[in-house]
Amino acid sequence: MHVQISGVLEVNGVKKTADFGLDVRLIGGQVATAGSTTVAVGEYGIEVPQGAAGFVSVDPRVTLEISLILSKR
């Protein structure tokens, strides 16, 4: 099953709302989830390195991935 969740992501002391797309599975009594979101690091006060004379470019967006396994104890 695929779900969307929203929350507050804090990076470098800056908090912003973020949406994650998660794939969720039930496996032997455990809930396994994995997903990702893409954020622009400049919105979090992080400077993107600039290449030498334009020979190198760095994407100002990063993909954050999460993986969780939830079980009852």
Please enumerate in sequence order all residues whose Cβ is within 8 A of that of 49, keeping only pairs 6 or more positions apart, or say none.
58
8-29 tens-digit pLDDT: 999 889 999 999 999 999 988 8
Q: What is the residue whose two structure tokens read 């470019």?
A: 57
Residues spanned by the domain of 38: 2-44+58-70
Beta bridge partners of 22: 3, 35
Gyration radius from the chain CA atoms? 16
Q: How confident is the model at residue 5 (pLDDT cuts 50, 70, 90)?
A: very high
Within a domain: 52: no
The tally of domains found in the chain comes to 1
Q: Is residue 49 part of a domain?
A: no
